[in-house]
Amino acid sequence: MMKMKLASMTQVANKKVLMSFMSWWVLACGALLLMPTKILVALSLQDFVTHYADFIGLGLIVGVAYFLSQLLGFFVDESIVHLNNKRSIETIESKVKLLDPAERALLREFFLQGATILTLPQDELAVRSLVETQILEVVGNVRHYAIQGPTAEYKITMRARIYLNRDVLRLPAGEPSKEELSNLIKARPQFVSGLVQQRKHAA
């Protein structure tokens, strides 16, 4: 992880240096080609510009082409991000309409416990399904237990939160009655009560 961060920082630093160099390169080439003759003579650059005008012009073209490629790359990256976001939202919308009882009960736990982060078993089918459809995401604290397998901390993704209302999760509109509360407790995932016991058997 540390090596990846260092590599990323080095790449960003190199890109900044190249960007700065190309900026000065374009400015220098453009200035030499557009500078009035009187100033060139005063700076003793007239002969240099006359002899190397083709190379200076080529340098300017290369510099401008570099910045155009960067601009094009930026728009391509933004388009990819936009497309990925659109696909992600479509995936979430589709999944929310087809939640099975186990997945719905799992998501209700965030509301019933009033928590933004819950420790859940990674191998649980409902957990894996909600992660794959980008409704849940891992935030860390992965732990391995000898008996019942690994757990991790999860939260509902920002994109998915706006779709998970009381109607979708089949929660009472107001304060639940004793009967409603009893039904919600009965519908809770079986592994919720088992998580406490998992911690006692840490590998």
Nearest to 188, CA basis, from 73, 105, 84? 105
Burial class (CB in 10 A: 0-12, 13-18, 19+), 160: buried
CA distance 24 to 14: 16
What's the pLDDT at 6?
62
pLDDT digits (tens, 9 = 90+) for 81-103: 999 999 999 999 999 999 998 89
pLDDT digits (tens, 9 = 90+) for 54-91: 898 999 999 999 999 999 999 999 999 999 999 999 99
pTM listed for this prediction: 0.65
Q: What phi, psi does 68 have (nearest 5°)? A: -65, -40
User: 19-23, 40-44, 175-179: which range is least confident on average?
Assistant: 175-179
Q: Is residue 199's pLDDT more than 60?
A: no
What's the pLDDT at 4?
55
The two three-digit tokens of residue 196, written as one number: 């406490």
What's the pLDDT at 2?
52
What's the pLDDT at 90?
93
